């Protein structure tokens, strides 16, 4: 037969080591704000286990209340850490019901119905663990296999607590006067140690995965405009075959060097951000915007005809022409030139379509700027009129 005291001490040791590890990681990565929350939750549960072990030796009504309160509060903190990690902000939905249940539990325990207090606490913990599993499965953006394991471990731990409460309920044990000791409690000790250790390890894995995703996002994003950069363009479309309903529009802000020389680089940055805001407004599924470097931008369009692609690029140029940037020299309006490159039925590479768009862009600049041009397949530019602005 398993030694109940040994199981409790094993649970306490496992939780203490895990919380220390989480705190250590948080000190090296303070941006992971969910880490101290889950670490504090683990420490609260460690305190619960130690005091519960003491309660098994010397039952006391006040100690019973503290033990049950720590159990609910510890899992509440772990639930809040999951909400922090996943971006849920409705903390009151977890906090208020848990605190209310803790108050009801304390009242029953004070009146001598400690068995009811244990049942209420087990129900609260089961609900919190079920919420953790559900939140990870519904909103998690990472590898679904990892999230499935998180949900399974949370569910298994929740079931073990539910069994403890059901045994007390089935036996009608409303007043115990001592720590409950049955097969469900022993099973719960084993399952809780295994599941909480596993969840701690997965927490570390998810933190590492999130850090990798954030790092990749940083390397793929232009820090000034927030658009994707040239590296992201290659990563997303480098291996794609551009068919007849795909197009790329390349844009270059007109006289941008003069803007920087006359008005200063801060104003130039404002102009770049204004154009980024304009091009971002046309983003949708199948349309991605990029800043390639300097004053050069690109828009990749899928599921569009050549006419619609050219029209979208022209509307972006017109919209940008209406933007006004306040400067010390007065209001500043800028214009943009664009060139179109198109896919083909036989498929074309990213470099081929970019080269076509780039040639058309330079043709637009030679034709007087402030226009969008598409190269004909014969290689001659189809010079359109200058873009009209309001």
Phi (first) and psi of residue 286, to 5 degrees: 90, 0
Query: 125: closest CA among 60, 48, 200, 197?
Result: 48
Other Cβ atoms less than 10 A from the Cβ of 251: the count is 28
Pick the catalytic residue: 185, 214, 218, 295?
Answer: 295
Chain centroid to CA 126: 26
The number of residues in the chain equals: 390
- Quick one: CA torsion of 72, 73, 75, 77, rounded to 10 degrees? 160
Residue pair 72/127 in contact by the 8 Å Cβ criterion: no
Other Cβ atoms less than 10 A from the Cβ of 314: the count is 19
The Cα–Cα gap between 288 and 310 comes to 15
Instruction: Report the half-sphere exposure of 207 (CA within 13 A, side-chain side).
Output: 24
Q: Is-catalytic flag, 185?
A: no
Encoded tokens for 80:
């809040």
List, by residue number, the catalytic residues. 295
């Amino acid at each position: 037969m398993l030694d109940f005291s040994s199981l409790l001490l094993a649970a306490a040791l496992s939780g203490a080591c895990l919380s220390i590890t989480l705190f250590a990681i948080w000190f090296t990565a303070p941006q992971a704000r969910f880490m101290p929350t889950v670490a504090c939750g683990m420490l609260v549960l460690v305190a619960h286990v130690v005091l519960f072990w003491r309660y098994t030796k010397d039952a006391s009504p006040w100690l019973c209340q503290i033990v049950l309160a720590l159990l609910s509060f510890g899992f509440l903190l772990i639930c809040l850490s999951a909400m922090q990690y996943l971006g849920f902000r409705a903390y009151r939905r977890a906090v208020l019901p848990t605190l209310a249940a803790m108050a009801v539990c304390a009242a029953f325990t004070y009146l001598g119905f400690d068995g009811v207090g244990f049942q209420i606490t087990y129900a609260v913990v089961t609900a919190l663990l079920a919420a953790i599993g559900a939140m990870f499965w519904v909103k998690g953006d990472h590898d679904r296999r990892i999230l499935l394991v998180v949900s399974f471990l949370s569910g298994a731990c929740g079931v073990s607590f539910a069994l403890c409460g059901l045994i007390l309920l089935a036996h009608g044990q409303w007043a115990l006067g001592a720590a409950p000791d049955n097969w469900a409690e022993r099973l719960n000790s084993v399952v809780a140690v295994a599941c909480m250790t596993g969840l701690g390890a997965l927490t570390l894995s998810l933190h590492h995965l999130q850090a990798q995703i954030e790092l990749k996002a940083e390397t793929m994003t232009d820090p000034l405009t927030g658009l994707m950069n040239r590296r992201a363009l290659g990563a997303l479309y480098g291996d794609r075959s551009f068919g007849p309903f795909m197009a790329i529009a390349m844009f270059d802000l007109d006289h941008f060097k003069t803007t920087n020389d006359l008005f200063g680089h801060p104003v130039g940055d404002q102009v770049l951000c204004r154009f980024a805001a304009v091009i971002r407004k046309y983003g949708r599924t199948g349309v991605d915007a990029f800043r390639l470097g300097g004053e050069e931008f690109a828009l990749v369009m899928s599921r569009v005809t050549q006419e619609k692609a050219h029209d979208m690029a022209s509307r972006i140029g017109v919209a940008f022409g209406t933007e006004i940037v306040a400067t010390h020299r007065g209001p500043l309006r800028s214009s943009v030139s664009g060139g179109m490159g198109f896919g083909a039925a036989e498929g074309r590479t990213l470099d081929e379509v970019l080269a076509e768009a780039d040639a058309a862009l330079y043709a637009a600049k030679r034709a007087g700027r402030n226009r969008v041009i598409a190269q004909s397949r014969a290689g001659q530019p189809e010079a359109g009129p200058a873009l009209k602005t309001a």
